[in-house]
Chains A and B, each alone.
Chain A
Amino acid sequence: MFDYPIFEMPFIGHRLLFAFDAILHVFISHGAAVGGSVILVLSQWLAIKNNDHKLDELSYRILFTFFILATAVGALTGIGIWIHINIINPAAIGALLRVFFWKWFIEWVVFNIEMIFLLWWFLTWKSSPLGTPAKKKNFKLGLTYAIASWFTMAIITAILGFMMTPGNWLKSYFPAEPDYVAALFNPSWFPSLGFRTFWSIAWASAMAMLLSWLFTRNDLELRQKAMRLYGTVLLVCIPFFVLFGAWYYNQFPQAAKDLFWMGAITRRLAAHPEYATYLTVALSGMVLFGALALYTKPKRAPVFLAVMMLIGSMGLIAEFERVREFVRKPYIIYNYMYANGVRVADVPYLNKEGYLKHAAFVPPEFRQVTDANRLVAGKYLYQMQCRYCHTVNGINSMKARTKGLSEDAIYIRIGSLNSAATPFMPPFTGTDAERKALAAYLASLAQDRPAIAYEQKLIEVTK
């Protein structure tokens, strides 16, 4: 957005940079923390009930792995999502923080409970042997941790739900006056929370099954017990998250539903929506086949099946998160803010007065388009409006998109970005002169013209 400095991520672009951190966070927070705490509390409870030392030891080893993952990678990539969006789309995270401050604050308090009880549970497990009262206390620590970690997810899910289906959260645009309660209880919060809760537990069970396989190489009886336990949990969760998923899907705006299949694959393959079905069926097949095989033949099933099940689950999770992010386009907060940080309500003003006029971090000599500065002005416009999804010559590159096009053709195309041809793109925002400047810059990219070098020097001189 025009209020902030420009950070460009070359080649991989902002989307992949963000996705890398975010998907890592989802894998670990949902698996090792939210779902992981539930299944480990369950297996610790069974170990206490049956005085089962082997199951207790196995649970501890799984917890050890989950602990390392959750604290070193899960928590930090969670803060990382925030840090990434700070530099990628500050206008959006700024708005979300203003609306969700207190929920986030409460989340942080609960996050404290989560972290303290995780440390306490993990660090005192060994000094609380089975059959002693200390063990029962230790179990309660785990239970508290499980409840707290679910609660943190519940709040974050509300924010994600809000971005897609904000509901009637804005009482007035000028001055913007949010309805905080409506924002929290947005239409997709409960369904998406149920959906995430059950697949988290299922996914954690899949992780635990692979770990159990690795940790029970010399004890097939224990392996059988673990596979039956975690396998049951996994299989029971499936119908629940499918049902919640359907309810969740139902809440999507129609425009988002229309983009669904394109989000599930790439735009290049949009002619073949059936590929998305094949992919989903194949991934689900990997998970189901692996889980059933490990469940029914725990002593004979090879580790390959557990790995396959894990890869299938990761594929499904990544697919879901990609679709969720894709179908929200062209918005980052539905109907309020476009993906490139422009508020929908500000578009008429920016179109009339100019976008660059307000760009605080653009040197003043480029805030008004002239014949002399149009290429650099165009470059600034590209950086402020397009680089959220595009790169110059990497992923989704502008160079490839405009190859061989004339300046006029690009100019015409810029005028209908948010049309049915590309319904996921925000409209270009700015005056006609600015639109021409952007076209000129993109044409110079398309034709590899060095003209920009001269104007670039101007920037260096004026800095």
Chain B
Amino acid sequence: MTDFRIIPGDIPLPLPTMGLDFMEPFFHGLLVVAWVVHILFINVLLGASLASVYFNSKGAKEKNSVLDRVAYLLTTPVTISENMGALWGVAPLLLVSILITPLFYSASIMNSPHWLHIIYGNIAAFLLSYLYKYTWHTLEYRKSLHIFIGAVGVALFFTLPWAFMATVQLAMTPSTWTYNTHFWDVLLRSDTFFRLVHFYLATFAVTGVFMLVYGMYKRRSADATDRAAAVILTRTGKSWFIIPTVLNFFIGPLVLFSFPDYGVEAFFENGYYWLIILTVVLTLFALYQLLKDFFNDDLPPARVWTVVGVMLIAIISMASLRHGMRMGLIKPVLEASHAKTELFQKESLVAFEEAKNITKPEVVAAIHPGQALADKHGCLACHNPQIKVIGPAYKEVAAKGYSAEQIVELVHAPKPANWPGYMPMPPMPQVPAEDIKQIADWINGLK
């Protein structure tokens, strides 16, 4: 059993299951699906924006208008996937925030302010990608500037997964938390590093499959340049899918075994390794489908759809095994967190009831009404009748011999110059003049 140094508390409100038992498993299922959709959009966003800049600069160098068209065609999926990617990130955020609240919040706080990069870095990258897209024709003859804009946007987009991966990875591994964990510690860990490599490679593979579909559609275009561009898309799609996928067969095990031992054990005990086998078999089948037709630029649609379908199942299977790993890693802490919160609430209830039952002691001594008013209006937060606290003692104020009217004015608009060395008093215009006159009467009676 692993010792967890830090057990965070949970939110003391019930899960919004509407009293339905199936709701919690439903939340988990929804989380897996929404997360997959989000990641697929992000993959296409990163891959297509990089490919667009690559083909743009290649086309400019070789003065090849077909490559330029490929680059331009790729800006449409960038616009759609950056918007849909952000949108589908919201659902996982919503679900993670209620299912693993203390872990997710703690991780994002430990990684702050770097965590905010997913907002501000994203906005900057978004704006650059629009600038790149909508200046395509205006900057036609200033290609190096245009490519520079695109490249900065892509570079920014590629830094966003650092913040995401570091936070997700930290949330999943509460056994690694210390009282001083920060963003760079997490980002430079081997588990985060291998996951990032795996993610970037998958980005190329997913974009590769997307290019196969996009190329298939563009092959039917009425425009001859579009049709020529479609051939480039298909060829690129094949190699972008095949090479990174093969590499990921080697990175995958490194990711798996860089998790903390107790997580890996739970993973195997719960039989999730079957999903690894399923994923590998499906992926090998997809690879075989493409290798069979590797030199055929006119890939039959049935082949493309087979690859898409098989890979979708493989991805869902991979996402499910990941979710299994995640839950294995955090379950012990979540349970401890719930128990801790329950205990806290129980003890707090006792103190709450006690406090309710304490009756306020009757004010026995007849105090000056001015003193009661001074208490009511918060004067005594800073002033004491006899000694200096923050403001001067009231007996010193009395020594100045102000009239009641003067004191009313000074409470509403204090003159700090009268009391050098003291902290200036904030104006208290909300205190009624009548009350201040009574308070003044009390102050002036002090000795």
The answer to whether A and B interact is: yes
Query: Which of B114-122, B139-147, B300-308 contacts its partner?
Result: B114-122
Q: Interface residues of B, CB < 8 Å — how many?
A: 84
User: How far is it, in angstroms, between the C-alpha of A174 and the C-alpha of B432 when the chains are bound?
Assistant: 40
A304 at the interface (CB under 8 A from B): no
Are B108 and A423 touching (Cβ within 8 A)?
Answer: no
A433 at interface by CB-CB < 8 Å: no
For A173, give the chain B residue with the smallest CB separation: B352
Q: Does B378 lie within 8 Å of A416, measured CB to CB?
A: yes
The verdict on A372 contacting chain B, using a C-beta distance below 8 Å, is: no
| Chain B, 109-130, CB within 8 A of any chain A CB | 109-110, 112-113, 115-116, 118-120, 122-123, 126-127, 130
Residues of A contacting B390 in the complex (Cβ-Cβ under 8 angstroms): 405, 409, 412-413
B374, chain A: closest CB distance, angstroms = 10
A174 lies within 8 A of B345 (CB): yes
A108 to B87, CA, bound (A): 8
- The yes or no answer to A101 lying at the interface (CB within 8 A) is yes
Contact A83 B118 (CB under 8 A): yes
Chain A residues with CB under 8 A of B16: 98-99, 101-102, 180
CB distance from B416 to the nearest CB of A (A): 11
A416 close to B109 (CB less than 8 A):
no
Complex Cα distance A247/B297, Å? Answer: 67
Complex interface: stretch among A4-12, A29-37, A142-150: A4-12
The segment from A51-59, A294-302, A360-368 found at the interface with B is A360-368
Across the interface, which residues of B come within 8 angstroms of A421, CB to CB?
377-379, 381-382, 426, 428
CA distance A419 to B428 in the complex (A): 12
- On whether the beta carbons of B381 and A416 are closer than 8 Å, the reply is yes
The minimal Cβ–Cβ distance linking A141 to chain B, given in whole angstroms, is 15
Contacts of B127 in A (CB 8 A): 68, 72-73
Report yes or no: A4 in contact with B14, Cβ–Cβ below 8 A. Answer: no
- Chain A positions within 8 Å of B414 at CB level: 271
Chain A, residue nearest B127 (CB): A72
A232 to B381, CA, bound (A): 53
Residue from the set A98, A105, A343 with the largest chain B CB neighbour count within 10 Å: A98
With an 8 A cutoff between CB atoms, is B246 at the interface? no
List residues 309-356 of chain A with CB under 8 A from any CB of chain B.
Answer: 343, 345-346, 348-353
> In this assembly, does B178 line the interface, its C-beta being within 8 Å of a C-beta of chain A?
yes
Pick from B5-13, B263-271, B277-285, B321-329 the stretch touching chain A. B5-13
User: Are B126 and A71 touching (Cβ within 8 A)?
Assistant: yes
A75 contact set on B, CB distance < 8 A: 83, 86-87
Quick one: given A95-B13, A346-B348, are A4 and B429 in contact (CB under 8 Å)?
Answer: no
Contact of B378 among A7, A9, A420 (CB under 8 A): A420
Q: Would you call A413 and B90 a contact (CB within 8 A)? A: no
| A405–B14 touching, CB < 8 Å | no
Residue on A nearest B391 in the bound complex, by CB: A409
Q: Are B12 and A76 in contact (CB-based, < 8 A)?
A: no
Contact B348 A115 (CB under 8 A): no
**Complex Cα–Cα for A76 and B127 (A):** 11
**Binding stretch for chain A, among B99-107, B193-201, B218-226:** B99-107
Taking the closest CB of chain B, its distance from the CB of A435, in whole angstroms, is: 14
Per-residue 0/1 for A161-177: is the Cβ within 8 Å of any B Cβ (1 yes, 0 no)? 00000000000011111
- Identify the closest chain B residue to A270 (Cβ): B427
Asked if A136 is at the interface (CB within 8 A of a chain B CB), the reply is no
Given A174-B348, A362-B179, A420-B377: A101 in contact with B94 (beta carbons within 8 A) = yes
Interface of A is mostly: helix
A79 and B90: CB pair below 8 A? yes
A72 touching B108, Cβ below 8 Å: no
Contact between chains at B98 and A101 (CB < 8 Å) = yes
Partner of A348, one of B7, B10, B355, B426: B355
Of A3, A87, A363, most B-chain CB atoms within 10 Å: A3
Q: Report if A94 contacts B (CB, 8 A).
A: yes
Say yes or no for B89: interface residue by CB 8 A criterion.
Answer: yes
| Interchain CB contact under 8 A, B87 and A94 | no
User: Residue B354 at the A interface, CB < 8 A?
Assistant: yes
Choice from B91, B130, B426 contacting A68 with Cβ under 8 Å: B130
Distance in Å: Cβ of B33 to nearest Cβ of chain A: 13
How long is the Cα–Cα vector from A415 to B93 in the complex, in angstroms? 39
In whole angstroms, how far apart are the Cα atoms of A350 and B347 in the complex?
A: 10
Interface assignment of B351: CB less than 8 Å from any CB of chain A:
yes
Asked if A220 is at the interface of the complex by the 8 Å CB criterion, the answer is no
The answer to whether A91 has its CB under 8 Å from any CB of chain B is yes
What is the bound-complex CA distance between A94 and B344, given in angstroms?
Answer: 17
Binding site of B, secondary structure by majority: helix, strand, loop or mixed?
Answer: helix
**Does A119 make an interface contact (CB < 8 A)?**
yes
- A196 and B102 alpha carbons, distance in the complex (Å): 33
A116 to B80, alpha carbons, bound, how many Å?
9
| Whole-angstrom CA separation of A366 from B340 in the bound complex | 19
Instruction: State whether B8 touches A98 (Cβ < 8 A).
Output: no
> Is A289 located at the chain interface by the 8 A CB criterion?
no
**Beta-carbon contact of B11 and A98 below 8 Å:** yes
**CB of A365, distance to nearest CB on chain B (Å):** 10
B359 at the interface (CB under 8 A from A): no
**A3, A5, A413: the one within 8 Å of B389 (CB):** A413
Residue among B179, B414, B427 with max Cβ neighbours from chain A (10 Å): B179
Check B389–A349 contact: CB distance below 8 A.
no
Report Cα–Cα, A98/B10, bound state, in Å.
11
Contact B352 A345 (CB under 8 A): yes
Which residue from A98, A105, A119, A459 sits with its C-beta under 8 Å from B13? A98
A112 within 8 A of B: yes
Interface string of B1-39 (1 = CB under 8 A from A): 000001111111111101000000000000000000000
Q: Which of B84, B94, B350 contacts A97 (CB 8 A)?
A: B94
Given A86-B105, A174-B352, A176-B12, residue A271 in contact with residue B382 (CB < 8 A)? no
The answer for the CA separation of A84 and B94 in the assembled complex, in Å, is 14
Task: Return chain A residues, CB-CB under 8 Å to B376.
Answer: 420
- Check B6–A360 contact: CB distance below 8 A: yes
Q: Please state if A93 and B106 are interface contacts (CB–CB under 8 Å).
A: no
A129 within 8 A of B: no
Residue from B79, B414, B423 with most neighbouring chain A CB atoms (10 Å): B423
Complex contacts, B89 vs chain A, CB 8 Å: 79
Shortest Cβ distance from A430 into chain B, in angstroms?
A: 13
Are A176 and B109 closer than 8 Å at their CB atoms? Answer: no
Of the candidates A4, A68, A419, the one whose C-beta lies within 8 Å of that of B109 is A4
Query: Is A178 an interface residue when CB atoms closer than 8 A count as contact?
Result: yes
The answer for the CA separation of A348 and B427 in the assembled complex, in Å, is 32
What's the minimum C-beta distance from A32 to chain B, rounded to whole angstroms? 14
Is B430 interfacial (CB 8 A cutoff)?
yes
Would you give the shortest CB distance from A249 to chain B, in whole angstroms? 17
Task: Evaluate whether A360 and B119 lie within 8 angstroms (CB atoms) in the complex, with A98-B15, A349-B351, A404-B423 already known.
Answer: no
- Among residues of A, the one whose C-beta sits closest to the C-beta of B430 is A258
User: Which B residues, 153 to 212, have Cβ-Cβ distances below 8 Å to chain A?
Assistant: 178-181
Establish whether residues A348 and B351, one from each chain, have CB atoms under 8 Å apart when the complex forms: yes
A422 within 8 A of B: yes
The contact sample of 13 A-B pairs, CB cut-off 8 A, is A77-B123, A94-B105, A97-B101, A105-B91, A119-B79, A271-B427, A349-B352, A353-B347, A361-B8, A409-B388, A413-B381, A421-B377, A462-B179
- On B, residues with C-beta under 8 Å from A are 6-16, 18, 79-80, 82-84, 86-87, 89-91, 93-94, 97-98, 101-102, 104-106, 108-110, 112-113, 115-116, 118-120, 122-123, 126-127, 130, 178-181, 344-352, 354-355, 376-382, 384, 388-390, 412-414, 421-423, 426-431
- Chain A residues with a Cβ under 8 A of chain B: 2-7, 9, 21, 68, 71-73, 75-77, 79-80, 82-84, 86-87, 90-91, 93-95, 97-99, 101-102, 104-105, 108, 111-112, 115-116, 119, 123, 173-178, 180, 258, 267-268, 270-273, 343, 345-346, 348-353, 358, 360-363, 401, 403-405, 408-409, 412-413, 416-417, 419-423, 459, 462-463
* Apart from the given pairs A7-B113, A77-B123, A360-B6, 5 other A-B contacts in the complex at a CB distance below 8 Å: A86-B97, A94-B97, A98-B13, A180-B16, A348-B352
